[in-house]
């Protein structure tokens, strides 16, 4: 599948901090999606983006579909302890049977 580079690989958060992560690709995508995986569970869709330049919010989460269609970022504002988990970006290519390509994930942990 297409390679997505997701960064950072991991991060520590302190309650109240804003955090951000991003995903880049060498290929363009038609749709960008962000998933969150809680420990012991499967990934759950957080936000879907459908147009280049689109900025979408879901509560404290904000995501953007890059203008070049090759990147996306996710911001979490005023983080809380339940934000810990693994966040995955995914790009969807309509010409490839609408299949998703996933980034390697960003692991978010609470700083002690």
Partner 1 sequence: DAGITQSPRYKITETGRQVTLMCHQTWSHSYMFWYRQDLGHGLRLIYYSAAADITDKGEVPDGYVVSRSKTENFPLTLESATRSQTSVYFCASSEVRTQYGYTFGSGTRLTVV
State which of residues 40, 82, 111, 112 lies at the interface with partner 1 (CB under 8 A).
40
Question: Does 8 participate in binding partner 1 (rule CB under 8 A)?
Answer: no
CA–CA separation, 106 and 21 (whole Å): 7
The C-alpha atoms of residue 36 and residue 94 are separated, in whole angstroms, by 23
When asked if residue 58 is in the footprint of partner 1 (CB under 8 A), the reply is no
Q: How many CB atoms lie within 10 A of CB 7?
A: 13
Binder among 36, 65, 79, 105 for partner 1 (CB under 8 A): 105
- The reply on whether position 87 binds partner 1 by CB under 8 A is no
Residue 1 makes CB contacts below 8 A (sequence gap 6+) with: 99, 101
Binding site for partner 1 (CB under 8 A): 1, 6, 30-31, 33, 35, 40-45, 48, 50, 88, 90, 92, 94, 97-100, 102-105
């Amino acid at each position: 599948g297409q390679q997505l580079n997701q960064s950072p690989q991991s991060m520590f958060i302190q309650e109240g901090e804003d955090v951000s992560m991003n995903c880049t690709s060498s290929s363009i995508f038609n749709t960008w999606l962000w998933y969150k995986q809680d420990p012991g569970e499967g990934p759950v869709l957080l936000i879907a983006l459908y147009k280049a330049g689109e900025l979408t919010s879901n509560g404290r989460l904000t995501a953007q579909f890059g203008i070049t269609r090759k990147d996306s970022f996710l911001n979490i504002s005023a983080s809380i302890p339940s934000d810990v988990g693994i966040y995955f970006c995914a790009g969807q290519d309509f010409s490839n049977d609408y299949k998703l390509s996933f980034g390697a994930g960003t692991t978010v942990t609470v700083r002690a």
